[in-house]
Amino acid sequence: MLNLVFLLYNNNMEKKISDKVINRLTLYHCILFDYINKDIKFISSKQIAQLLHIDDSQVRKDISLLNNSGKCRVGYIVKELKTSIESNLGFKKTKKAFIIGAGNLGSALAKYDNFTSYGLNILGLFDNDKKKIGKIYNNKPVLDISKISHFTKGAGVEIAILTVPRESAQKTAEILIDANIKYIWNFTPAVLSVPDDIVVWNENLMGNFLQFTYNYDM
């Protein structure tokens, strides 16, 4: 989800928050979500810092960008801080999207309900496999990709989550661009060649795994 936030926020010409800060704010948001579930009303910068193993002065500096001030000796109001992060990072603005590729990964993403918490509304999936077309995943239909232009224009969708095999990625991206898709969240291991006005964010699953195992081995 972090990469989706980067994908959309970085296309905002009025952005004032760096990628590193966005990264930390999304982690703060996860902590705040847990605090609300536990019915905890206040949180301090020190508590956030301890959970993330960072300096609490960095937490205060990040939160100051949101124009959210805490209360002396009490901390921040959890619900207010969560709302402030959501407002500044655009979680409250609903974005429509399609998943391209109804394989194991695409169907798993379709079943993931927490996207709605970040303002992402997945309307359906697209595939070229006749055996998959017509299936339903989490109330989301699998449609024929040859008809995607009709659906993107009709529903005003500009975001595609790409989960097709590597060998199909570039050709599929070109189909999406022709269908007026402007943002591609790329889960494939392919590096896409796209026009300058198309925003791509690569979800490098294998790279993240290798980074994790490298640090583990150290």
Structure confidence at residue 216 (pLDDT): 55
| pTM for the full predicted model | 0.79
State mean pLDDT over 163-187: 96
Structure confidence at residue 5 (pLDDT): 59
Nearest in space to 198 (alpha carbons), one of 163, 164, 167, 170: 170
State mean pLDDT over 176-200: 94
**Whether residue 189 sits in one domain with residue 118:** yes
With 0-12 / 13-18 / 19 or more C-beta atoms within 10 angstroms meaning exposed / middle / buried, residue 120 is buried
CATH number at residue 48: 1.10.10.10
Residue 218 belongs to some domain of the structure: no
Give residue-wise pLDDT tens across range 200-213.
988 866 665 655 56
pLDDT exceeds cutoff 90 at 8: no
pLDDT band at 166 (very low <50, low <70, confident <90, very high): very high
State mean pLDDT over 63-67: 87
Q: Tell me the H-state helices in 53-193.
A: 56-64, 78-89, 104-110, 148-155, 166-178
Residue 52 belongs to some domain of the structure: yes
Are the C-beta atoms of 179 and 149 separated by less than 8 Å? yes
Say how far apart CA 25 and CA 27 lie, in whole Å: 5
Residue 112 belongs to some domain of the structure: yes
Residue 217 belongs to some domain of the structure: no
Select the more confidently predicted residue: 160 or 204. 160
CATH number at residue 186: 3.40.50.720
**Whether residue 111 sits in one domain with residue 38:** no
Q: Which of 89, 120, 139 is the last residue of a domain?
A: 89
State mean pLDDT over 1-20: 61
Give residue-wise pLDDT tens across range 68-120.
766 667 789 999 999 999 888 877 778 899 999 999 999 999 999 888 878 88
Residue 214 belongs to some domain of the structure: no
Say how far apart CA 78 and CA 188 lie, in whole Å: 37
pLDDT exceeds cutoff 80 at 153: yes
Return mean pLDDT, the chain. 87
pLDDT exceeds cutoff 50 at 13: no
Q: Which of 89, 112, 147 is the last residue of a domain?
A: 89
The bridge status of strand 136-137 relative to strand 120-127 is: unpaired
Q: What is the total count of domains within the chain?
A: 2
Structure confidence at residue 19 (pLDDT): 78
**Whether residue 101 sits in one domain with residue 81:** no
Structure confidence at residue 206 (pLDDT): 64
**Whether residue 67 sits in one domain with residue 11:** yes
| Domain residue limits at 85 | 2-89
Structure confidence at residue 17 (pLDDT): 78
Are the C-beta atoms of 176 and 126 separated by less than 8 Å? no
* Lowest-confidence pick of 38-52, 66-80, 142-156, 190-204: 66-80
Q: Which of 70, 89, 108 is the last residue of a domain?
A: 89
